[in-house]
């Protein structure tokens, strides 16, 4: 039996809103960092990370992990 190791690569240039729409599991990560996923979610994930004083690469990696776990 083989196991598929699915790699998820999010486009962190997408807006926060688009990311949550495509990958609902990311909402909890944004919430943990206090990143607005509603009215202020029109900015890119990278910009949102900077606004929250988070390394954009770290945030993107955490979002990708959340999506991977949700995919099972």
**Secondary structure string (H, E, C) spanning 15-67:** EHHHHHHHCHHHHHHHHHCCCCCCCCCCCEHHHHHHHCCCCHHHHHHHHHHHH
Q: What pLDDT score was predicted for residue 3?
A: 47
Whether this prediction's pTM lies above 0.75 is answered by: yes
What pLDDT, in 10s, does the model give residues 17-46? 999 999 999 999 999 999 999 988 899 999
Output the CA angle 20-38-58, nearest 5 degrees.
50
59 has pLDDT over 60 = yes
Q: What is the dihedral of CA 11, 7, 60, 24, to 10 degrees?
A: 80
């Amino acid at each position: 039996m083989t196991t598929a190791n699915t790699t998820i690569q999010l486009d962190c240039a997408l807006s926060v809103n688009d990311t949550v729409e495509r990958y609902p599991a990311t909402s909890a990560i944004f919430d943990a960092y206090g990143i607005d996923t509603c009215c202020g979610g029109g900015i890119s994930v990278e910009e949102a990370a900077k606004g929250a004083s988070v390394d954009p690469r770290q945030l993107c990696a955490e979002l990708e992990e959340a999506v991977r776990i949700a995919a099972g």
